[in-house]
Amino acid sequence: MLLTKTPARLAQTDLEAIIARALDESRALGATQAEAAVSQDTGLSVGVRLGEVETLEQQRDRSMGITVYFGQSKGSASTADFSLQAVRATVAKACSIARFTALDDCAGLAEPELMAKVAIDLNLSHPWDLSADQAIEIAKNCEAAALSFDARISNSEGASVSSHQGLHVYGNTHGFVGGYPTTSHSLSCVVLAGSGDEMQRDYWYSSSRDWQELDQPESIGRESARRTLARLHPRKLKTQRAPVLLVPEIARGLVGHFIAAIRGSSQYRQSSFLLNSVGQQVFPAGFAMSERPHILKALGSAPFDDEGVITRDREFVTDGILMSYLLSSYSARKLGLKSTGNAGGAHNLLVSANTAGGMPALLNKLNTGLMVTELMGQGVNTVTGDYSRGASGFWVENGVIQYPVAEITIAGNLREMLRGIVAVGDDIDVRGGVRVGSILLDSMTIAGT
């Protein structure tokens, strides 16, 4: 059990005052530009296993980071102490570092004309007045529903409940200052079925900005049990090439590898399998991916990025053609381009579905092949695109699931995998910053016996 104790929460105006103090100090010490970010986070996390409390953590964190520029030399420092003396010392440390760093032609704040001018309320904060006792009760009910689902559910890795609340404020010497509160809540359960060498495990979870939109604890428990039972008595497959269907939770990872390859930092460092690919056919014709940063309550929404640059709707892929990289101001300058408002990452990536009817329709398109529900290992090289990971899931014949499979590896090359997308389902998973349905790939190497 871990309990922490820190001072009470501050208001946004308090954090803005700390930023103003830090920026004033940086100017007084001769900085030509400066930016500061202040954040405070509180949270409660509870874990229950076999009806007993296993973990109880209460979080209270806060920090201030300051970055200063002397011309094009940069220095950064941070502190968790918000006192005037600590802020002054932190700014002085950043200035001292900047005087010893090399000049960088691309260093500096984002361009002032890119700053977010109007505050946008995206409804991202829904605090949950949740006590530790209430969280424990919710987790116990979730796990109990899983354990009572079927006599073959033999053990549990536990159920967990978490609720977090954050407030983050950013400001710079362009005169920009902005911040907004956020919340995130989740509930999950992991159980095991079978015995001895025949044991299998699986999980299910729910997450949301708004705690009232979480799935019911009992339904999460039952779904984790159902998924675990479906994996009992897996078979191995013979080594072969076959179509592969990635369920939404796994498809999100494939999109993540693509995003890593089109980040500005990967491009200017020349560490991407998609170097200089803007304007090229990266996906099949008809494939589309967009960024929608202003979806209300969404987990990836943000009114501005980590540099104060306003976020906007953007089309990253149109008709299979890559339209833009993800750029911060620094990576944009390195590439001779403009920031796309993606300092800190993407904001709600939406992959357009092209196949209606959910999983049944995708299984029919798959016909005979592998449906992947879990991946293991880190065998992904985003420089070359080589891809090889351990997998488990289900073998499908004539559009019907036949039996679970395990102890296999799926392999290919990311460039070929992206070009080989046959279908994207409408069974879209919204529990994250990438919203995508199941993805069907035309063919991959399946290594088994």
The per-residue pLDDT for range 391-422, each reduced to its tens digit, is 999 999 999 999 999 999 999 999 999 999 99
Q: What is the pLDDT of residue 449?
A: 86
Claim to verify: residue 352 and residue 371 sit in the same structural domain: yes
Asked whether residue 392 is assigned to any structural domain, the reply reads yes
Q: What is the pLDDT of residue 8?
A: 61
Claim to verify: residue 255 and residue 121 sit in the same structural domain: no
Q: What is the pLDDT of residue 434?
A: 97
Claim to verify: residue 96 and residue 150 sit in the same structural domain: yes
pTM above 0.85, yes or no: yes
Asked if 233 contacts 320 with a C-beta cutoff of 8 angstroms, the reply is no
Asked whether residue 393 is assigned to any structural domain, the reply reads yes
Read off φ and ψ for residue 350, nearest 5 degrees: -115, 120
Q: What is the pLDDT of residue 3?
A: 30
Q: Considering the chain, what percentage of its residues have pLDDT values greater than 70?
A: 98
391 is in which domain, residue-wise?
Answer: 240-447
Claim to verify: residue 335 and residue 190 sit in the same structural domain: no
Asked if 426 contacts 356 with a C-beta cutoff of 8 angstroms, the reply is yes
pLDDT at 446 over 80: yes
The per-residue pLDDT for range 161-219, each reduced to its tens digit, is 999 999 999 999 999 999 999 999 999 999 999 987 789 999 999 999 999 999 999 99
Claim to verify: residue 154 and residue 212 sit in the same structural domain: yes
Asked whether residue 274 is assigned to any structural domain, the reply reads yes
Q: What is the pLDDT of residue 394?
A: 98
Q: What number is the average pLDDT over the span 122-141?
A: 97
pLDDT band at 69; cut points 50, 70, 90: very high
Asked whether residue 35 is assigned to any structural domain, the reply reads yes
The per-residue pLDDT for range 296-311, each reduced to its tens digit, is 999 999 999 999 999 9
Task: Compute the distance between CA of residue 215 and CA of residue 225 in angstroms, rounded to an integer.
Answer: 15
pLDDT at 367 over 80: yes
Q: What number is the average pLDDT over the span 90-103?
A: 96
pLDDT at 1 over 60: no
Asked whether residue 17 is assigned to any structural domain, the reply reads yes
Read off φ and ψ for residue 140, nearest 5 degrees: -65, -40
Task: Compute the distance between CA of residue 256 and CA of residue 273 in angstroms, rounded to an integer.
Answer: 13
Q: Considering the chain, what percentage of its residues have pLDDT values greater than 90?
A: 96
As a whole number, the mean pLDDT across the chain is: 95
pLDDT band at 155; cut points 50, 70, 90: very high
Claim to verify: residue 178 and residue 283 sit in the same structural domain: no
Q: What number is the average pLDDT over the span 91-101?
A: 97
Q: What is the pLDDT of residue 196?
A: 79
Claim to verify: residue 12 and residue 92 sit in the same structural domain: yes
Task: Compute the distance between CA of residue 247 and CA of residue 434 in angstroms, rounded to an integer.
Answer: 13
Task: Compute the distance between CA of residue 441 and CA of residue 168 in angstroms, rounded to an integer.
Answer: 40
Asked whether residue 235 is assigned to any structural domain, the reply reads no
What's the CATH code of the domain at 39? Answer: 3.30.2290.10
Asked whether residue 83 is assigned to any structural domain, the reply reads yes
In SS3 terms, the chain reads as CEECCCCCCCCHHHHHHHHHHHHHHHHHCCCCEEEEEEEEEEEEEEEEECCEEEEEEEEEEEEEEEEEEECCEEEEEEECCCCHHHHHHHHHHHHHHHCCCCCCCCCCCCCHHHECCCCCCCCCCCCCCCCHHHHHHHHHHHHHHHHCCCCCEEEEEEEEEEEEEEEEEEEECCCCEEEEEEEEEEEEEEEEECCHHHCEEEEEEEEECCHHHCCCHHHHHHHHHHHHHHCCCCECCCCEEEEEEECHHHHHHHHHHHHHHHEHHHHHCCCCCCCCCCCCECCCCCCCEEECCCCCCCCCCCCECCCCEECCCEEEEECCEECCCECCHHHHHHHCCCCCCCCCCCCCEEECCCECCHHHHHHHHHCCEEEEEEEECCCECCCCCEEEEEEEEEEEECCEEEEEEEEEEEEEEHHHHHHCEEEEECCCECCCCEEECCEEEEEEEEECC
Claim to verify: residue 244 and residue 170 sit in the same structural domain: no
Q: What is the pLDDT of residue 378?
A: 87
Structural domain count, the chain: 2
Claim to verify: residue 387 and residue 272 sit in the same structural domain: yes
Claim to verify: residue 341 and residue 217 sit in the same structural domain: no
Given 230, 258, 286, the domain boundary residue is 230
Q: What is the pLDDT of residue 119?
A: 85
Claim to verify: residue 294 and residue 340 sit in the same structural domain: yes
Asked whether residue 200 is assigned to any structural domain, the reply reads yes
The per-residue pLDDT for range 335-346, each reduced to its tens digit, is 999 999 999 999
Given 166, 201, 230, the domain boundary residue is 230
Claim to verify: residue 182 and residue 261 sit in the same structural domain: no
Q: What is the pLDDT of residue 198?
A: 85
Q: What is the pLDDT of residue 412?
A: 97
Q: What is the pLDDT of residue 324?
A: 96
Given 187, 208, 230, the domain boundary residue is 230
